[in-house]
Structure 1
Amino acid sequence: MTQPVRRAAVFAALCTLSLAVPLFGPVVGATVATVALVGAFAVTDGPLFELLAYPGDYEDRRLYGLITFVLAGVALGLVAVAGSLSIAIFVGTVLLVGYGNLAEQLVRSVTDDDVLVVTGFCLAATAAAVAGQVVTLWLANGVVGAALPSVLFLAASGALLAALLRDVLLLYDDPIVMLSVGLLLWLLAELEPAIGATEIALALAVTVALGYASYALGTASVAGMLTGVLLGLVTIVLGGYGWFVVLIAFFAIGGLSTKFRYDRKEELGVAEDNDGARGSGNVLGNAAVALAAVLGYAASSATLLPGDPDPALFLFAFAGSVSTAMSDTLSSEIGSIFETPRLITTLEPVEPGTDGGVTWQGGLAGLVGGAIVAAISYALFPEVDALGATIIVAAGFVGMIVDSILGATLEGSLLGNQGVNFLATLSGALVCALLVLSSAILG
């Protein structure tokens, strides 16, 4: 057994002690955490230190990795005891990180395949989170059947977020991972899924299969794949399969457009890095507003928002943001192969790949992209009539123009590419929702 595996096993065992809270109460749980912290401060040398130390711990001979890990668990525990975070989510989150990490190290000891490593982490993390929540709920109520859909959804969502964060952070940033997962699950727990455990398992299988396909085809990195799977799962569970179809249409068509005449783009110096594989930043830059709209729709449907806004407004905001993302992606990826772009703010000729450079071919492709999103929305959502579909196309076009203007004026100085994408999709979402609201008032 390698040292990373042994260290992960000790951390997993410490995570299991979180069960002391539902078993014996907060006082015993706090005592266990105190003993762990004192031990971490006391051990400064010897075999135990060598076993538990991360690279950064050696300079001061202090187990800072273990200390911050325990403190993160204590912080979540305090929120659970004194706030509205449930004990079940607290225990599930702690076990998720600990046992997911152990599984990852076990897989990594026999293979370096990134997908297998991530799969091992996610499977073990999901199983541990489900077990932790089920045990805690059973100790509290004696019945867990009705809560199984929520338990499975939270466990899978937490595992995906943890895997994503571990891919983009350092190994010894697990305290950040634990706190981030706990806060996400705290939010999602307020938005109970409207579908059953079987449907959630099916949704997870569908999103994982499509996510792996995007990775295998080279249109997404591992981080991009994890981000897409998490977004897809949340979208299906809180919105529905219709919302997911709209979102996956963007990812599929956008990913393929990145590969369109890729050799030509390389010649012009405008090709995406990593052979066109999109990472988590790119995925979130284009889909963060859509995710916020899904969460807003779920919250408004559950009457959790002040003023009881119409859930349909969030549907149109979602469609407007995706229409913008689709329009902008097709405009950029297709328009970039032409050598006659003009800067949108001055219409002066610029080099291909210049931020804010546009071509009429790219603009036409962008309109087609928005029309695709509008057509899918019209076919799947009763709320979207002919006028609504037209508004979705218009919102996508406006968002595409905003993206180009921001690219010509602020990108590179105040904003990065992901920030521009976020603001553009936000503008598309707002334009779509406001136009729909205005048409309803005037009509």
Structure 2
Amino acid sequence: MTFINNQCFIKQKPLIFMTSWPKCFTGDDEGKNYTLYFITIALVSMLIFPFLSREILFLIFAGAGVYIYITNSNRNVINLIVSVVLLLLISATANIYSYSLPKYIIVAAIQISTIGFTCATIVRCKTNKDSQENTTNLQSSLALLIAGASSAFIAGSWYAYWTSTVSYELIFFIAVIGAITAALFESIPSSVDRLFSMTMGSAMAMWVLAAFGYSVAPLHLLIAFFFALFLGYLAYRTNIADISAVLSATLMGVLIIVFSNILWFVLLLTFFILGGVFTKYKYNYKLGLGIAQEKGGVRTYENVFSNSTAALVLAIAYGIYPQHSNLITYAFLGTVATAAGDTLASEIGTTARQTPRMITSLKPTKTGTDGAVTSLGELAAFGGALAIGILGAAFGFVEQIVPAILITCAGGWGGTNIDSLLGATFQKKGYLSNSGVNFVATATGALISGILYLLVL
């Protein structure tokens, strides 16, 4: 980044494969051109998408990309157009094989990545210091959420009005989910250009939900959104989560609430609260051993997704397959119990005075070694799983309280030890990362509780 006459300039990065950021909107001609390009793309795409075929749209955007590359070489605009051309190509190809990537999803993704990202950039440049002008902050992420969702809904509604092929409820649902997804991609450091990843990521998320044909009343969706966002904000203010974790939790929360109910999300949040609290437990001691959580224990999007993806899948399945609701509920309790048990085992077990032992050989090892276990850690894992089981029963998830608590504890404790076993084997050899281990372990915890439900109840 360089400064000329107090104007901030960001050095251009290679197309797609490096992150590119727009210049701060300080009144320079290039900044105005950048804004004009994005607004033009947003408005034109909204107006023409209902009336033109995928093939014609593909030719228009491909031609526009070539023209802009030759005359201007604005990487941000080119990356956006490349992503749109790719989506149109995917849509046309999918249509050949009797699948469908609807055009209203593509035009909604365009609005999010133009109007939403432009508004976020303006807010970021107004709120950040010059030295941090390209750093995502909570205000800019909220601007992207609001502007992106609003513009996507307007464009989608225009499409729905002229084609009568999609309901306004579904348009509103996917617009909110798409905007949250785009804001999440913007907040994650990556070598891939943000506009490219935002456009593709939001489109893919909206496509998955549209494929289910599942929609929710706008008021219910808004309540879920603001509830999840508010709790995420509290976690951010108390240094439990960073911005990427807030947006990840918001996305998770909205989907879990609309596909199941709010208590499912509250139960999942219990795991994050327990994790945040016990991360601080004897933190200086763990820091001295070099085994404390990074960034003071602040959770990132990796923590959220690695520990909650299985829970999210089960919550969505609960809404889509109500005939299997009991089985899915027990599996959900098992996966959350595993996440809670594993976190408490790690944060409390590492403070034990006894020498840890490898779960594979029971040989003594150093504290913090992947796959090391202690009696205190095993007890903490059981306690975390028990807490989830009791809360699940208290929330009315199950009718048979005692068997449900026992099944939840078995799934949580078993999943936690699977986590240790994977850490001592696959993670130690580099086959799995810590996030990968967490994902497999939580899925295993769900599997254990689900199987026990089928065998016992």
| TM-score (structure 1 length as normaliser) | 0.87
Deviation digits for residues 4-23 of structure 1, max 9, x if unmatched?
A: 56425413421333334554
Q: CA deviation at 1:64?
A: 5.2
Equivalent residue for 1:86? 102
Which structure 2 residues correspond to residues 53-68 of structure 1 after superposition, within 5 A? 53-54=75-76, 65-68=79-82
1:213 to 229, 234, 250: 234
Contact 2:170 2:210 (C-alpha < 8 Å) held by counterparts = yes
Q: What letter is aligned with 1:371?
A: L
Q: Tell me if 1:398 matches 2:414.
A: yes
1:88/1:35 CA distance change after superposition, 3 Å: closer
Contact 1:160 1:226 (C-alpha < 8 Å) held by counterparts = yes
Equivalent residue for 2:63? 38
Which structure 2 residues correspond to residues 98-247 of structure 1 after superposition, within 5 A? 98-112=114-128, 114-141=137-164, 147-168=167-188, 169-170=190-191, 172-191=193-212, 195-247=216-268
- Aligned equivalents of 1:6, 1:377: Cα separation in 2: 55
Pairwise CA RMSD of aligned residues? 2.4
Equivalent residue for 1:430? 447
1:329/1:9 CA distance change after superposition, 3 Å: farther
Contact 2:411 2:446 (C-alpha < 8 Å) held by counterparts = yes
Contact 1:8 1:105 (C-alpha < 8 Å) held by counterparts = no
1:135/1:330 CA distance change after superposition, 3 Å: same
Matched residue SS, 1:347: coil
How many correspondences in the alignment? 417
1:8/1:290 CA distance change after superposition, 3 Å: farther
Contact 1:358 1:404 (C-alpha < 8 Å) held by counterparts = yes
Contact 2:55 2:92 (C-alpha < 8 Å) held by counterparts = no
2:434 to 402, 406, 417: 417
- Aligned equivalents of 2:362, 2:32: Cα separation in 1: 59
1:18/1:43 CA distance change after superposition, 3 Å: closer
Matched residue SS, 1:345: coil
- Aligned equivalents of 1:23, 1:359: Cα separation in 2: 62
1:312 to 308, 316, 326: 326
Deviation digits for residues 87-117 of structure 1, max 9, x if unmatched?
A: 4333222212221111121112212261111
Equivalent residue for 1:255? 276
Of stretches 162-171 and 128-137 in structure 1, the one that deviates more from structure 2 is 162-171
Contact 1:203 1:236 (C-alpha < 8 Å) held by counterparts = yes
Q: CA deviation at 1:373?
A: 0.8
Contact 2:281 2:348 (C-alpha < 8 Å) held by counterparts = yes
Q: What letter is aligned with 2:311?
A: A
More helix by share: 1
- Aligned equivalents of 2:247, 2:260: Cα separation in 1: 19
Deviation digits for residues 161-193 of structure 1, max 9, x if unmatched?
A: 111112223573423332232222122124455
Matched residue SS, 1:351: coil
- Aligned equivalents of 1:267, 1:219: Cα separation in 2: 21
Q: CA deviation at 1:211?
A: 0.5
Matched residue SS, 1:348: coil
1:409/1:53 CA distance change after superposition, 3 Å: closer
Deviation digits for residues 12-41 of structure 1, max 9, x if unmatched?
A: 421333334554231xx6435423422432
Q: CA deviation at 1:249?
A: 0.9
2:363 to 345, 348, 370: 348
- Identity of matched residues, %: 28
Q: What letter is aligned with 1:156?
A: V
Deviation digits for residues 331-383 of structure 1, max 9, x if unmatched?
A: 10111122432222222222111111111112111111101111111122353
| TM-score (structure 2 length as normaliser) | 0.84
Contact 2:65 2:82 (C-alpha < 8 Å) held by counterparts = no
Which structure 2 residues correspond to residues 363-374 of structure 1 after superposition, within 5 A? 363-374=378-389
Of stretches 164-173 and 279-288 in structure 1, the one that deviates more from structure 2 is 164-173
- Aligned equivalents of 1:53, 1:191: Cα separation in 2: 35
Q: What letter is aligned with 1:135?
A: W
Which sections of structure 2, spanning at least 5 residues, go unmatched?
1-24, 129-135
- Aligned equivalents of 1:397, 1:384: Cα separation in 2: 22
- Aligned equivalents of 1:359, 1:384: Cα separation in 2: 34
Q: CA deviation at 1:77?
A: 4.9
Matched residue SS, 2:369: coil
- Aligned equivalents of 2:326, 2:31: Cα separation in 1: 50
Of stretches 316-325 and 185-194 in structure 1, the one that deviates more from structure 2 is 185-194
